[in-house]
A and B are shown apart, each in its own frame.
Chain A
Amino acid sequence: MIVVKNLHKSFGDVKAVNGVSFEARDGEITGLLGPNGAGKTTTLRMLYSLLPPDEGEIRIDGLDPTRDAMEIKRTLGVVPDSRGLYSRLTARENITYYGELHGMSRDAIRERIAELTTTLDMSDFIERRTEGFSQGQRVKVAIARAMVHQPQTVLMDEPSNGLDVMSTRALRHYVLSLKEAGHSVVLSTHIMQEVAALCDRIVIIAKGEVAADGTASELLERSGCDSLEDAFVELIGSEEGLLA
């Protein structure tokens, strides 16, 4: 469960996030939807305590990232926009590294990797060095790495970026399974179909502010549009950033 209230963050004169508030409940998938540069990544970075907010409040299962950074990091699984795998290590070694950084035992890591290899269908490449992996394989390893310690809350920044149809399908399937298992999932995206297919709640962010917030049908109703795409344009008041 994530509660964000009135979040602000500026870099110099640029106000990247300007009063963002939303909630992400357990057993739900919350989508942060917005054009490029709307402040999604900055918001996520504040959630996973890499950036301190200038103002506002964040609670993840009651913990505050500015004060309980270490605790929060233990309960979070993060798949950042940049996958950042180590190309000279195998997929297994990449995942093991993160397991060890989370203080897991060798056996626990091995068991967990076996589990994830099945769920994410990684058995073909789990022992290979990640150099030359396809985008789909990379995302799978990045997800396995983020999930190795079985976090309650999962944050994904543009998870389907650069994925082909099959990989996107597999990813969606996995994200839905997380929801079934009662995790709280937050994903940022600028892809409309993804939101429509996955998200229980949608938070539309534009220019650092929340333009609208609700379920898909609520957003359609409020904007008076037939499609989510039209609703999006209507709610943020421009077509800027949609052509990505």
Chain B
Amino acid sequence: MSGLTTVFRKEVRENIRDRRALFNSLLLGPLLFPLLFVGMMWFLESAERERAEKTLELPVIGAQYAPSLIRFLEQQGTVILPEPEDPEELVRSQEVPVVLRILPEYPEKWEEGLPAPVEVISDPSRQESNAPIRRVKSLLYGYGQQIGSLRLQLRGVSPQLASPIMIKDVDLSTPKSRAILAVIFLPYVLMITAFTGATHLAMDTTAGEKERKSLEPLLINPVPRWQIMTGKMITTMVFAMASLALTLVSFRIVLPYMPVGAFGMDLTLGLATLLKILLIISPVAILAAALLTLLASFAKSYREAQSYMGLVILIPMIPSLIFMANPIKAETWMMAVPLFSQNLLIGEIIRGESVSLAWYGLSIASTLAIGLVLAALAANLYNRPKLIFSTS
């Protein structure tokens, strides 16, 4: 085993001197992602606030048919804009989010006590117009309620008869469980970090060594090849792990600077939580190191290896993308699926839920098992002479 530790020590020393390795493993993930996260939160939060607090400006067509409605809207702080030329085009071109059209038969129906028609012209498929649409509709609804009650009272009927059900919201979500974004984003970032942290070293220690033609002389030393490969893989794992740990620490440092109460989030990441997350994600670092080393060993040069890596980096994104599109409830069998299980578990931890030890165990064991199988494959790869020589 002394061969293994010799290789490990040399790879660590060599890569610590490599600016590219340090940048990729120890700087990129730990610095970029947390900043990205905070930036995104600030952006979303401020955009949301702006939309909620901004004065509602509403172009109205046929304002002359419903003067009392217009008065109501103005009392509620709405700025009524003059009738536009082509309202549909205005909405389509995103110049305004909503246009209100009061139809000519409005006064007639109103007099007869029949529902008077108004049109809310909008494009709800545009995210940013959702808030104004909601505001316009709730104003119209409020006006309708008010007039409706008055009409009933005029006829001597209690307006309460028209409200057979009273709805009360009882909100059981804790501030933590509302941290939806963090629940999706943090596992996503960590999963990618495990891979990006391992990528450069996996390539440099295999394809890079082949490219620099130092692999052949190295293999002439009296050390079994599996020990040489394992020494290299352990270096890769250590760098990936360091990358993960630094990313978590940097999240911990950055979180206090998040917009206060953003999304009702109470996410402090105490030391115990950090360690728990690190424990869960560590097997992913091992899996990533083994998988990437295995792939890079087939490449003849660093460049060729890079072209494989572009595809591999998609793998850790898959679970997060699935959860983003379709949030699912964690179940025991999912803990056996690498990447999925870590995603779910970290989500649960952030949400502050208690997770059964069996789930931790299953997740760690299954990911570790697959990682070790891949590692064993990679370790024996250089027993094939074809893969040693880059030219012959």
Task: Check B220–A84 contact: CB distance below 8 A.
Answer: no
Partner of A89, one of B6, B10, B216, B392: B10
Contact A101 to B222, CB < 8 A, known contacts A50-B385, A89-B14, A93-B13: yes
A97 at the interface (CB under 8 A from B): yes
> In the complex, what residues of B have CB within 8 A of residue A86's CB?
10, 14, 212, 214
Complexed CA–CA distance, A85 and B14 (Å): 12
Task: Check B2–A103 contact: CB distance below 8 A.
Answer: yes
Partner of B215, one of A42, A84, A102: A84
Task: Check A97–B220 contact: CB distance below 8 A.
Answer: no
Task: Check B215–A101 contact: CB distance below 8 A.
Answer: no
Complexed CA–CA distance, A103 and B13 (Å): 19
Partner of A102, one of B10, B213, B221: B221
> In the complex, what residues of B have CB within 8 A of residue A74's CB?
222
Partner of A101, one of B6, B13, B212, B216: B6
Contact A101 to B385, CB < 8 A, known contacts A42-B392, A85-B214, A88-B18: no
Task: Check B220–A73 contact: CB distance below 8 A.
Answer: yes
> In the complex, what residues of A have CB within 8 A of residue B221's CB?
73, 98, 101-102
Number of CB contacts from chain A to chain B under 8 A:
75
Complexed CA–CA distance, A98 and B10 (Å): 10
> In the complex, what residues of A have CB within 8 A of residue B223's CB?
101
> In the complex, what residues of B have CB within 8 A of residue A89's CB?
10, 13-14, 17
Distance (Å) between the CB of A190 and the closest chain B CB? Answer: 17
> In the complex, what residues of B have CB within 8 A of residue A142's CB?
217
CB within 8 Å of A: which B28-79 residues = none
Interface of B is mostly: helix
Nearest residue in A to B17 (C-beta to C-beta)? A88
> In the complex, what residues of B have CB within 8 A of residue A48's CB?
220
Contact mask for chain B residues 216-258; partner A; CB cutoff 8 A; 1 contact, 0 none: 1111111110000000000000000000000000000000000
B175 at the interface (CB under 8 A from A): no
Nearest residue in A to B218 (C-beta to C-beta)? A84
Contact A82 to B216, CB < 8 A, known contacts A50-B388, A103-B2: yes
Distance (Å) between the CB of A128 and the closest chain B CB? Answer: 13
> In the complex, what residues of B have CB within 8 A of residue A88's CB?
14, 17-18
Complexed CA–CA distance, A41 and B6 (Å): 28
B3 at the interface (CB under 8 A from A): yes
Complexed CA–CA distance, A70 and B73 (Å): 90
Contact mask for chain B residues 326-348; partner A; CB cutoff 8 A; 1 contact, 0 none: 00000000000000000000000
Contact mask for chain B residues 367-391; partner A; CB cutoff 8 A; 1 contact, 0 none: 0000000000000000001001000
Contact A102 to B13, CB < 8 A, known contacts A80-B216, A84-B212: no
CB within 8 Å of B: which A163-217 residues = none
Residues of A within 8 A of B (CB): 11, 41-42, 48-52, 70-71, 73-74, 76, 78, 80, 82-89, 93, 97-98, 100-103, 142, 145-146
Give 8 CB contacts A-B under 8 Å. A49-B220, A78-B220, A80-B216, A82-B214, A82-B217, A84-B215, A101-B223, A102-B221
Query: Which 3 A-B pairs give the minimum distances between C-beta atoms?
Result: A84-B214, A82-B213, A73-B222
